A and B are shown apart, each in its own frame.
Chain A
Amino acid sequence: MMSLQELSDRLEIEQLIVRYSNSIDQRNWDGLDEVFTPDAYIDYRKLGGIDGRFPQIKAWLGPALAGFPHYCHMVGNIEITLAGDTATARTLCINPMDTPLPAGGSQVMFLGLWYKDKFIRTPRGWRMCERVEEACFQHNVPAHMAIPSA
């Protein structure tokens, strides 16, 4: 049987993963301060983004996502491995993105990816100290977009 501590840790980490999606989808960049450690390493290169430390990524996100009128990051299949005050997780994300077309109008593309995360318990709760993307499927990507194939 799982201890209450383990149940609590698992729920807190699940909530942290959801908080990331909700912060990104509401364009609440400051909300990410409660998700990542200040020196977290983030790697978005598998879907055409950049990699770097959290402050660099936080500054990059707003302008990078400003070109997409609507999007969401639906997460599921959260598989957590606890190891005391650290943890790792693998999470599936289905990411529909409304993408403006050069000739006008827009098109919704669907990206599938996994997040490979590392976590650390801090005095203020669990925080993500690493997030690396792994690409899965791509559907309905507009011809002018350059997304590396998985």
Chain B
Amino acid sequence: MRYVDEFRDPELITKAAEEIRRLAEPERHYRIMEVCGGHTHAIYRFGLKDILPDNIELIHGPGCPVCVLPMGRIDDGLDIARKNDVIFAAFGDMMRVPGAHGSPFEHKARGTDVRIVYSPADALQIARRNPDRHVIFFAIGFETTAPSTALTLMRAKREDIHNFSVFCNHVTIVPAIRAILDSPDMRLDGFIGPGHVSTVIGCRPYEWIARAEGKPVVTSGFEPLDLLQSIVMLLRQLRAGEAKVENQYKRVVPWEGNRAALKAMAEVFELRPHFEWRGLGFISQSALRIRKEYAEWDSEQRFDVLETRVADPKAAQCGEVLKGVLKPAQCKLFGKECTPEHPIGALMVSSEGSCAAYYNYEYRKTASLVTEISSVA
């Protein structure tokens, strides 16, 4: 398969791993953050830790959109759906995310009309086919998914479809990276930069990280060879005492980003003054809301929103894990109360969440663990 097989070639992967060993100074410990949840998933999925030297530590970053969404937003979205008898459409990743009153799947079992869609355009299609019902698309994601939401809203307006609105939870990646770097307990040597987000925003928005913070950034693809090559590029910079932004994922990421996508986002969205991130708290100008020109298609402006605020379960240490301060297995609930089947923290829900990725692919390599099969859920 093109674009896949050549990036999983065992010989090239072995060579890249050797190059990493050659470049990594044995007495030095490297802490590299992969910002993107897709990278976290790939690192575990391909077992890359098995082939990296011990002194290269990968820290999982905040780039999992499901993970950083505060619980109250899910409750608010589902509350609107329940009270107004609307169709609640969301990506598959969202379906098991617990709100304080249950996940979308649990609401579905209780009678709310919850549908899995693969793109916002599918949600709009549901609205076209059900002119008597209102359809809410529960939008999540970074700049990767925001353009498709924007284009869908532009289309709804153009086609005069009024039984459709978006509950917008789109966030932006750069403020989250800034929050991580501002965190006093965080020491990082460099970043594996987001892949998909960068296809939209390009590489320029990371230049301040290199310039002002002195940390190298390499925008990376998602195949094993992509990630290893990005680590090679980071190590070369670190060895040479440099800090710059480099683009490993050139086959997909244009340095200047995607102008058409950025234009669509600017047409539909504006920055929120502040937005709550699960684990990171309120971050100013870190999320998008729908402009007043599109108010009619904004669920938050159309319906009453409870503005629920739900504190994370006390024992769960999602925030520390999300910032990379704790490893997933160091959380007190990991693998005990909190599992992918019964997630307490959001990091256990999405397959891109570092806890779920670690639990699914890595955990039992060392711990011989059998899930208790003693009671019915």
Chain A bound to chain B: no
Chain A residues in the interface with B (C-beta under 8 A): none
